[in-house]
Homo-oligomer: A and B are copies of this chain.
Amino acid sequence: MTDLQLPRFCSEECRWKKITRDESKEHDAMVTKERRGLHLHRHYHHHVRIFTYEPCGGIVRHARRLEQEIYENPGSLPFQEILYCNLGNPQALGQRPINFFREVLSLCDNPPLIYRDEARALFSPCALKRARKIIESLPGNDSGAYTCSQGVRSLREAVADGIAARDGFPSIPDNIFLTDGASSAINMMMQILIRSHEDGILCPLPEYPLYSGSIILHGGTIVPYNLTEDSGWGLEIFEVKRCLEEARASGLTIRAMVVINPGNPTGQVMSMTNQEEIIELCMKEGLVILADEVYQENVYTENKKFNSFKKVARSLGYDHKEISIVSFHSVSMGYYGECGRRGGYMEICGFGPDVIDEIYKLASLTICPNIAGQILISLVMDPPKLGDEAFEIFMAEKEETCSSLLKRAKALQKAFSSLEGVSCNKFEGAMYLFPRLRLPPLAIKAAEEECVPPDVYYAHRLLNATGIVVVPGSGFHQVSGKFHIRCTILPSKEKITAMVTRLQAFHEAFMDEFRS
């Protein structure tokens, strides 16, 4: 069997919670030594060293080694391919892109095509028209130039119009920053907000580890609040208040609160009442709301719908001067799933022009976001409308993707729920299931002997036996003693059937192996 090569196990609860401060002290001691000439050289910044990002981390590296092994020695492993369920990466798993979007991108890459008669055989009139409109608004009437660091104005206008149509409240292009995906936008905001390790950011637990990674990298402190698994990963406002007060008592200044809606990795959709409580709290306590709304088009439950935090704040009567909200969105999710394009926006509300200027300056250091991503986010926020020629096909493609996602989610949810000792959250939104594993004591002991957390042990055993890659719950900093895995719902219908069979067989054998 391939060597597990796992990180060291650490049994203390929420080690990562303490990591910034403890490692800071260690680092300071080291720097002092170095100044005295005791140590010659250390290679890299300690923040870089200590942050982790498990969805692309140890288990994925291990999967890539297995993949190489399959390539070099076909038949040497008990499976023929690796099934990457670690990331929400729809098109890698066979999801078809929206044709209209791809046609427009293709034309914008090569604008002379727009004016060629032969192009009518390959591109729809609607795509030709939209591409022409976009190209005419770009610098030099081409798609190859640097744009404004905030993104092309006409594309920001399309995004702002889309937000206004979605929310029923105005949005202005000056408050929109187009970005290389949501990740770089979130990094940028952390860089702006965090001034020292005395600054804390409230984050949900379990959390998408981009947040902890980015906070650690920029030298701040994570202040986690727990989501309640028993109430479908609900957010209890008293729990947030408790964490806020405890953090302040320990000397931290709390700068912002991260909310992920629909949830990642937990897949819940927030109720409006819950959002109102959060807004009132952040208003009262002077916190910036960092609203991760990238799964806004991934809501699958009939009695819930997505509401942006800005919309809820405006509905409560708060205007743009009273509360600071940053909303993040991306072309990677939804029914579009264009991850590799790296497109996104952030809408910045309730900040003064001095802060907007600083964000602009920070964005200008990489000059501008990539143009394909800029164009795509404008299409996502301004897709074909009723009356447009392309509308029917677009809607059919969109609905097919959405209903197929729901079907696959249900199949996987059913499969996980059928496993011994496994309970699976109700799938309301986003792209993941986050089932809880109740593992036998002997399995936990085996994990301890290997010096890894039990969920990491389970995930590696699953990978080694089936080729299925999932992320252990500890990668999302779930509290210790509770074991989960995050698995995307994205594999194709055909693959899900085979996957379920392999998963069930593995789980049964695993439980048998460790039965007392």
Residues of A within 8 A of B (CB): 27, 31, 34-35, 40-46, 48-49, 51-53, 56-57, 64, 87, 89-94, 97, 102-103, 105-107, 109-110, 113, 116, 118-119, 121-122, 139-140, 142-149, 180-181, 183-184, 187, 191-196, 198, 210, 213-214, 217-218, 251, 253, 286, 332, 337-342, 351-352, 354-355, 358, 361-362, 364-373
Complex contacts, A42 vs chain B, CB 8 Å? 195
Complex contacts, A217 vs chain B, CB 8 Å? 191, 362, 365
10 A-B pairs besides A56-B149, A97-B142 with CB distance below 8 A are: A44-B192, A89-B146, A90-B144, A91-B144, A92-B139, A93-B140, A106-B106, A146-B340, A180-B366, A181-B366
Tell me if A44 and B195 are in contact (CB < 8 A). Answer: yes
CA–CA, A365 to B365, complex, Å? 18
CA–CA, A414 to B30, complex, Å? 56
Given contacts A118-B122, A367-B339, contact A48 B358 (CB under 8 A): yes
Among B97, B195, B213, the residue within 8 A (CB) of A45 is: B195
CA–CA, A135 to B132, complex, Å? 26
CA–CA, A395 to B369, complex, Å? 30
Closest residue on chain B to residue A93 by CB atoms: B140
Closest residue on chain B to residue A199 by CB atoms: B45
18 A-B pairs whose Cβ atoms sit less than 8 Å apart in the complex: A43-B354, A45-B192, A45-B195, A48-B361, A57-B361, A89-B139, A97-B142, A106-B110, A106-B113, A109-B109, A109-B372, A119-B122, A143-B340, A144-B341, A145-B340, A187-B366, A341-B370, A342-B370
CA–CA, A149 to B34, complex, Å? 33
Tell me if B367 and A251 are in contact (CB < 8 A). Answer: no
Tell me if A195 and B31 are in contact (CB < 8 A). Answer: yes
Closest residue on chain B to residue A122 by CB atoms: B118
Closest residue on chain B to residue A49 by CB atoms: B358
Complex contacts, A183 vs chain B, CB 8 Å? 365-367
Among B48, B121, B192, B351, the residue within 8 A (CB) of A362 is: B48
Tell me if A371 and B181 are in contact (CB < 8 A). Answer: no
Given contacts A121-B118, A180-B180, contact A44 B94 (CB under 8 A): no
CA–CA, A187 to B48, complex, Å? 13
Minimum Cβ distance to chain B for residue A486 (Å): 15
Given contacts A149-B56, A191-B48, contact A34 B373 (CB under 8 A): no
